[in-house]
Amino acid sequence: MSAQLAKSAIGANFSAAAATYDGWAVVQAPAAQKLVDSLPAGFAPRTVLDVGCGTGSLTRRLTDRFPGTRIAGVDLAPAMVDTCRAAWPRHYFLCGDAEDFDAEGNAFDLVASSFAFQWFADKKGTLARFSLALVPGGILALAVPVAGTLYELSEAHEAALGRPLAALDYPPAADYVAWAETAGLAVVDAPVRPMIVHYPDALAALKSFKGIGAVFKGGAKPLTPREVNRLTRTYDERFRGEHGVPVTYQVLTLIAHS
């Protein structure tokens, strides 16, 4: 699958999930709130760029904390951008690929992104380009899943089907810190916190990904019904506990100054 086709598929899947995303975003929503809460006291940005704005989970929280700010959002999914435009007509939202966004110009006091960077092919380059969009003394704030995310699903997939899960690339947190520093930013905070969601069974866990529009890397054939049965049975057998079946995210909250 070409990069362009992969991007098209990602945009289409997230658009299809625009109406259901917020109901399924049980990790993404608190991660966005934690990111906003991690911004320094007294910080009052006038201009904000929300990278991968989705349905506006981060936009909503930024607007609540900084009611006078002007926010620009960019996202690949047209239906999600339409959702944001309807909710916040005073802000500006662009439908487009954030990796191709012209981020230069020292235009923003804050560049923020929550649960979007894991979808970018060139994470290091994209982070560097968005650092150029900051005014001197501006802040880059990222919430992003890192290494160790979805480890239960990965282990069950390998055990049940004998091949690695064709999932997203989750670099370690240290990579994001290094990329930010290479871009000339001063990292002031970069904790990683596990965020675990429990579902009644493995099939419900798999459905949760569809509910938020998540599609994994191209190149893997869709699972057959027999393979799905083997995967869910293995997932249940290996990981079901008293609270159900867990899905673990390791979430980096990175705050860096220009």
| pLDDT at 69 > cutoff 80 | yes
| pLDDT at 10 > cutoff 90 | no
pLDDT of residue 213: 60
pTM (2 decimals)?
0.91
Task: Give Cα separations from 181 to 38, 92, 121, 143 (angstroms).
Answer: 19, 29, 19, 17
- Cα separation, 88 vs 99, whole angstroms: 24
Phi, then psi, of 131 in degrees rounded to 5: -65, -25
| Segment 185-194, tens digit of pLDDT | 999 999 999 9
pLDDT of residue 21: 73
- Cα separation, 159 vs 162, whole angstroms: 6
**Confidence tier at 14 by pLDDT (50, 70, 90):** confident
CA 60 to chain centre: 16
pLDDT of residue 164: 87
| Segment 137-181, tens digit of pLDDT | 999 999 999 999 999 999 999 999 999 887 678 999 999 999 999
pLDDT of residue 159: 96
Mean pLDDT, range 130-138, rounded to an integer: 95
248 sits in which H/E element: strand 245-257
Percentage of the chain beyond pLDDT 90 is 76
pLDDT of residue 208: 84
Which of 22-26, 66-70, 120-124 has the weakest average pLDDT? Answer: 22-26
- Domain ranges for the chain: 3-149+168-197+247-257
| pLDDT at 245 > cutoff 80 | yes
pLDDT of residue 219: 44
| Segment 214-225, tens digit of pLDDT | 655 434 577 889
Pick the CATH number of 3-149+168-197+247-257 from 3.40.640.10, 3.40.50.720, 3.30.70.20, 3.40.50.150: 3.40.50.150
Taking Cα atoms as reference points, which of 253, 251, 216, 32 lies closest to residue 146? 251
